[in-house]
Amino acid sequence: MSSVKTGVVLDEITDTKGKEQFEKEWSVILHNDDYHDMDYIITMLMQIFKIDSNKARKITLEAHETNKSIITVLPKSEAMEKHNLIGLYGSDSENWVPVQSSVEPVSG
pLDDT in tens, 40-72: 999 999 999 999 999 999 999 999 999 999 999
Instruction: Fill in the DSSP letter of residue 12.
Output: G
pLDDT, residue 21, reads: 53
Domains in the chain (CATH in brackets) are: 23-105 (3.30.1390.10)
CA gap 28, 80 in Å, rounded? 8
Instruction: State pLDDT tens for residues 6-42.
Output: 444 434 444 555 555 555 789 999 999 999 999 999 9
Contacts of 83 (CB under 8 A, 6+ apart): 28, 101, 102, 103
Q: What is residue 107's predicted lDDT score, i.e. its pLDDT?
A: 83
Q: How far apart are CA 64 and CA 57, in angstroms?
A: 10
